[in-house]
């Protein structure tokens, strides 16, 4: 039996056991269930066994300020059934997806406005309609189908063939080389998933080069905010401040309660993108932020590099790199894997670099070096903690995108198992739930305890999240 449920309020973890017990009493009152076992803060398990049947029940939930969603499941079968049958049933439960209904209309992006605010250089297309974000106003995020993904294919700048970048197959891709002047080349590319849920971009053709304000310029009418020659007068903004301003200015009309939850400086990215000679100021910073689109939680990752050159009382500065992604919170790993792949595959065309104007070589080096720098810095730092490697990214697309962490391990919960790892060898083992600690000796013998090591030669096996 599988029972999905929802609540208008958040479910405190300390109240989950009583609700789980109430469900057990209502739907399986004749069984003698064990006391609910807390597997993690959002997952509980109870078991029953008698002379005829054995059963396991799982209570999984997730919530936010908008309410709580989850499912209550019971698996029951004859006591003498083969273990393989229990495993098969567990896998069936793990693959279950709720598609919801569309009875109350659909929540949609306002035209292409939100999509166009995510970097790039495109303008809204008249008559292009809206992008569906969530079908059914009462549909929980966990009921959304997975975002389509079928691997990557190359995208080439259609304007001057200045760059190539690998983008997801079947996604809507825009991009090119925006030229405000003969020496102002701004490459950009943006990919939007077919369901409109994930947008990833590199570059923004709308960001100009900046001139720092001077007393003389202000007297001549070129104060802060003045625009001329394709540029703009603006005081230098450090990378960390700029990236947050960019997020709030471009997304503030569509996302509410935008909050930066993580921020990091990347001096190695700045050095690779901006070079080490001639820059008075060279910085790079990345942020992770959250927000709400109506009642849909969203997560974004943005990266910015800035560079300034000052001499003889005047100066200029540039946003030498900007990239990021925005997606619903339940598929942030998918969006992150896409932008990381795009950054790592972005390459300037050497023929274009050789034939273009004098600054093309600098543009080419900048965008070629940034790919390696981002790979070395961000993949090895906090973004790597969110999407550690290509194998993890592939695994994301291979499973139900809307499942929360507890549901990902649902088959293990049904079977009463958990995964542990030997930190010395990296080998993983399936063990029974119950003991607080798990141990293995030099001969490969396993035991579980609710206290310390059973002896001096036993090493602890660590739980795999």
Condensed to tens digits (0 to 9), the pLDDT of residues 274-317 reads: 776 777 888 999 999 999 887 788 899 999 999 888 776 678 88
Q: What stretches of 115-250 adopt beta strand conformation (E)? A: 132-135, 152-156, 163-168, 172-181, 184-192, 199-202, 210-211, 227-228, 231-233
| pLDDT digits 0-9 by tens, 204-263 | 888 888 888 877 777 777 778 787 767 888 888 999 999 999 999 999 888 888 999 888
For residues 167 and 152, what is the distance between their CA atoms, to the nearest angstrom? Answer: 5
Residue 198 CA, chain-centre distance (Å), reads: 9
Who contacts 259 (Cβ-Cβ below 8 Å, separation ≥6)?
Answer: 289, 290, 291
CB-based contact 317:236 (threshold 8 Å)? yes
- What separation in angstroms does the CA of 111 have from each of 115, 117, 125, 293, 454? 8, 11, 9, 14, 63
The continuous run of DSSP H or E covering 272 comes out as: helix 267-274
> Residue written as tokens 């994930």?
198
Q: What stretches of 329-444 adopt beta strand conformation (E)? A: 347-348, 417-421, 428-432, 437-440
For residues 371 and 201, what is the distance between their CA atoms, to the nearest angstrom? Answer: 14
Which two three-digit tokens encode residue 363?
């543009």
Q: What stretches of 279-363 adopt beta strand conformation (E)? A: 281-293, 296-311, 314-328, 347-348
Counting every residue written for the chain, the total comes to: 465
Instruction: Kindly state the DSSP code that residue 65 receives in the 8-state scheme.
Output: T
Residue with the bigger pLDDT between 334 and 174: it is 174
Considering the chain, tell me which residue range(s) the CATH 3.10.450 domain(s) occupy: 2-95
Predicted structure pTM score:
0.53
- What separation in angstroms does the CA of 371 have from each of 2, 260, 432? 46, 24, 44
Residue with the bigger pLDDT between 110 and 325: it is 325
CATH 3.10.450 fits 2-95, yes or no: yes
Neighbours of 2 (CB within 10 A): 13
Q: Check whether 134 has a pLDDT greater than 70.
A: no
């Amino acid at each position: 039996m599988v029972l999905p449920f929802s609540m208008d309020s958040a479910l405190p973890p300390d109240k989950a056991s009583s609700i789980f017990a109430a469900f057990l009493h209502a739907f399986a009152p004749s069984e003698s269930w064990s006391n609910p076992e807390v597997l993690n803060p959002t997952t509980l398990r109870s078991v029953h066994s008698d002379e005829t049947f054995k059963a396991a029940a799982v209570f999984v939930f997730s919530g936010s300020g908008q309410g709580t969603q989850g499912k209550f499941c019971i698996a029951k079968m004859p006591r003498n059934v083969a273990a393989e049958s229990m495993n098969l049933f567990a896998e069936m439960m793990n693959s279950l997806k709720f598609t919801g209904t569309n009875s109350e209309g659909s929540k949609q992006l306002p035209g292409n406005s939100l999509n166009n605010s995510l970097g790039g250089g495109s303008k809204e297309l008249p008559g292009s309609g809206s992008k569906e974000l969530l079908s059914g106003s009462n549909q929980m995020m966990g009921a959304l189908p997975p975002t389509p993904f079928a691997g990557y294919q190359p995208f080439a700048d259609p304007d001057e063939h200045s760059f190539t970048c690998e983008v997801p197959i079947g996604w809507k891709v825009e991009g090119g080389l925006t030229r405000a002047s003969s020496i102002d080349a701004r490459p950009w590319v943006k990919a939007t998933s077919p369901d409109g849920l994930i947008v990833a971009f590199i570059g923004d053709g709308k960001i100009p080069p900046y001139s720092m304000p001077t007393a003389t310029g202000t007297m001549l009418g070129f104060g802060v905010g003045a625009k001329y020659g394709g540029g703009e007068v603006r005081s230098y903004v450090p990378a960390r401040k700029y990236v947050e301003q960019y997020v709030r200015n471009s997304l503030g009309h569509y996302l509410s309660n935008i909050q930066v939850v993580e921020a990091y400086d990347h001096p190695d990215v700045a050095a690779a993108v901006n070079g080490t000679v001639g820059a008075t100021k060279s910085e790079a910073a990345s942020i992770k932020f959250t927000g709400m689109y109506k009642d849909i939680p969203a997560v974004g990752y943005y990266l910015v590099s800035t560079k300034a050159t000052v001499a003889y009382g005047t100066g200029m500065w540039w946003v030498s790199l900007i990239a990021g992604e925005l997606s619903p919170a339940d598929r942030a790993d998918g969006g992150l894997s896409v932008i990381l792949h795009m950054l790592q595959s972005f390459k300037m065309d050497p023929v274009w670099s050789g034939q273009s104007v004098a600054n093309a070589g600098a543009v080419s080096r900048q965008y070629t070096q940034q790919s390696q720098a981002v790979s070395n810095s961000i993949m090895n730092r906090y973004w790597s903690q969110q999407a550690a490697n290509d194998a993890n990214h592939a695994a994301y697309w291979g499973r139900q995108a809307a499942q929360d962490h507890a549901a990902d391990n649902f088959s293990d919960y049904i079977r009463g198992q958990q995964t542990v790892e030997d930190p010395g060898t990296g080998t993983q083992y399936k063990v029974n739930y119950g003991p607080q600690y798990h141990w293995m000796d030099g001969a490969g013998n396993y035991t579980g305890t609710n206290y310390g090591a059973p002896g001096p030669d036993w090493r602890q096996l660590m739980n795999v999240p």
